[in-house]
Amino acid sequence: MRRRCGVNRSPSLRAFTLIELLLVVALILLSVGVALPALMRAYRGESLRAAARAVAAGHRLARGSALLRAEPRELRLWPKERRLAVVRAHASRTAEETNTLRADLIGGIEPQPGAVFDEPGEQRETERTWAPDVLLEQVETDTATYEPDTMLSLRYEADGRCPAFTVRLADTWGNRAAVRAHPLTGRVVIEYEPKR
């Protein structure tokens, strides 16, 4: 019987060579290196998108609740605390009067973090917060522009009408978003402006 020179390889004993293994590892590292920056950009922008969706959801809830219950509602924004709430509004008070009353009651002094101005018998329907790396820059209504120094109230009438408003948000990486609401239809549009 004649023997062959060299290594006898049967199909069950075959293995990968070191070069093949290194080539696979290099391809995996290359694909991770290409995908990682895109994943990091998406992760950074997620908190801004979540905050914009929270404002839009608060608007929809306030409008829907006002229509369903045929009672006015308020969407209240606390920019420094990064939160919002939907509450039952006083039927006889406008949003401007509510904002003025709150400013008078706190006497121009900034409330402590976590402090909430609640009127007796006030009923909250929901409260949402957003990430600490997202700032509320400005709220524009059809009558005024508000800077983020104190709580702001947007009033929804019993028929669902609200002031046309734009809430401008920004994250710490320079990305911006604008949440715009139409006063009659209630349609919300979120516009994102990437970092320049």
pLDDT in tens, 139-170: 999 888 888 778 889 999 999 899 999 999 99
In this structure, the strands spanning 188-193 and 176-181 are antiparallel
- Helical residues (DSSP H) of 8-87, grouped into ranges: 18-69
**Spatial distance between the Cα atoms of 48 and 89, rounded to a whole number of angstroms:** 28
In a domain? residue 50: yes
Which strand ranges, in their side-by-side order, compose the sheet holding 145-146? 145-146, 134-141, 165-171, 176-181, 188-193
- What pTM was estimated for this model as a whole? 0.69
- Locate tokens 């990430």: which residue? 131
pLDDT of residue 102: 46
Question: Does 170 fall in a domain?
Answer: yes
- 19 domain residue, yes or no: no
Closest Cα partner for 125 from 87, 79, 179, 70?
Answer: 87
Amino acid at 123: Q
Q: How many domains does the chain have?
A: 1
Lookup: tokens for 170: 């920004």
Tell me if 10 is assigned to some domain: no
Question: Residue 109 belongs to what domain range?
Answer: 29-193
- At 78, which CATH number? 3.55.40.10
Residue 15 lies in a domain: no
In a domain, 17, yes or no: no
pLDDT of 86-134, one tens digit each?
998 875 555 555 555 444 444 444 433 333 445 555 677 889 998 899 9
Tell me if 5 is assigned to some domain.
Answer: no
Q: By three-state DSSP, how is residue 88 classified? A: strand
Judge whether 18 lies within some domain: no
